[in-house]
Amino acid sequence: MWLYMNKENEGLQDRRLVPAAQDLRHLGCERVLVFLAEMDHLKGGGKRYVEELKKSGWSGSVEVKETVGKDHCFHLAEPKDQQTMDLVKKIASFINLH
């Protein structure tokens, strides 16, 4: 939505959309779970976020899960799909892990 509302943007590469690595170092959690969808046009941004997080000096752990053959927000359009159910289970497991 921000790209649509801000006509003077540089697209998905606009640095204003990407937190600085030094800011990520102070992320207030110990674990991060990132979901990517193979066919998603935003997949590259998710991968860059993970790379920046790792380079930032943040001391937590990051887990990446990529769903094969799916596009952006597939879980909303296909709530009964097995890959959607697997995604929901992974989120629940991540939240409940102590």
pLDDT, residue 9, reads 74
The model's pLDDT over 41-92, given as tens digits with 9 standing for 90+, comes to 999 989 999 999 999 999 999 999 999 999 999 999 999 999 999 999 999 9
Where are the domains positioned within the chain?
2-96
Sorted by sequence, the CB contacts under 8 Å of residue 30 that are 6+ apart come out as 59, 60, 61
- List helix spans (H) across the chain: 2-5, 21-24, 43-55, 74-77, 82-96
The whole-angstrom separation of Cα 86 and Cα 78 is 12
How confident is residue 8, by pLDDT bands cut at 50, 70 and 90? confident
- What is the DSSP pairing of strand 31-37 with strand 61-67? parallel
